[in-house]
Amino acid sequence: MYKILTKKQLNPDVYLYEIEAKAISKKVQPGQFIILRVDEFGERLPLTIADYNADKGSVTIIVQAIGASTIKLSHLNEGDFIQDIVGPLGKATEFEDAKHVCVVGGGVGTAIAYPSAKFLSQNHVKVDMIAGFRNTDMIILENEMKVIANHCMIMTDDGSNGNKGFVTDALNKMMEENKYDLVIAIGPIPMMRAICECTRPKQIKTIVSLNPIMIDGTGMCGGCRVTVDGKTKFACVDGPDFDGHLVDFNNLVERNRMYKEEEGHQCRLSKEGK
């Protein structure tokens, strides 16, 4: 059992949980994830580690209450316990020798992008950040991003924060003003694909973090397979980070839609408390 130390609601749908997990906190690296079960009847839920504190023995996750299991998790509070957690899983993000990096997050994907940006900043790499949200009310981690980033641009679809547009608009502008060694893009699939098409003509290496259907997290079930450079890869052991210019995004979209009807049914039951 893993105790919830802190719970914060970041926006109407997104929650931050700091969880006591001493062994995981001592081993985790940026880009890695955990798999948890809310209770003994819960499904295995993969979530990227947004932050960690080895001294305190805790890891932090940021969760959007959108599916059956995340809605169930959102009902837990400080002092409650999560049934079980396994991790850290996946390969750590490989930054190579990048000197100037632009990290792009979309929606709750910003929580996944943030630890990479933080790690780079702490290791004296120049980091710019771009984050995109539907509106001002949905913005998360704004202060945290501004602390670590050399330049931070937050975009909203409706312009309610004064910067109307998409993350691609901001990236195109910032690429005109800066020479990046690496771009990291994490968020909805259409956003990651659009970012890759922005960086492809400039031949800037672009890393994306993929979120296919995942079950066991060890590469045995095959549920998280993706096509990269024409080859089958498994996001849980070969990723979740991949070269975005080599990812078959059409295949990824199709696979992620496989259980859309079933997920919708379970989500409705969760909202009804069943």
Q: What's the first-to-final CA gap in the chain, in angstroms? A: 23
Cβ-proximal residues to 56 (8 Å cutoff; 6+ apart), any chain: 25
224 is in an annotated binding site: yes
CA-closest candidate to residue 28, choices 118, 97, 106, 108 = 118
Cβ-proximal residues to 8 (8 Å cutoff; 6+ apart), any chain: 15, 16
d(CA 56, CA 184): 29
Residues 21 and 33 sit within 8 Å (Cβ to Cβ): no
Residue given tokens 């969880």 in the structure block: 19
Angle between helices 167-177 and 189-199 (to 10 degrees): 20
What is the sign, positive or negative, of the torsion defined by CA atoms of 232, 233, 235, 237?
Answer: positive
Neighbours of 266 (CB within 10 A): 17
- The amino acid occupying position 88 is P
Alpha helices, DSSP H only, in the chain?
A: 22-25, 68-74, 110-122, 142-148, 167-177, 189-199, 235-238, 249-256, 260-271
63 is in an annotated binding site: yes
CA-closest candidate to residue 21, choices 92, 69, 89, 67 = 89
Binding residues for [2Fe-2S] cluster: 221, 224, 236
Binding residues: 62-64, 221, 224, 236
Which amino acids are annotated as binding site for FAD, given as ranges? 62-64
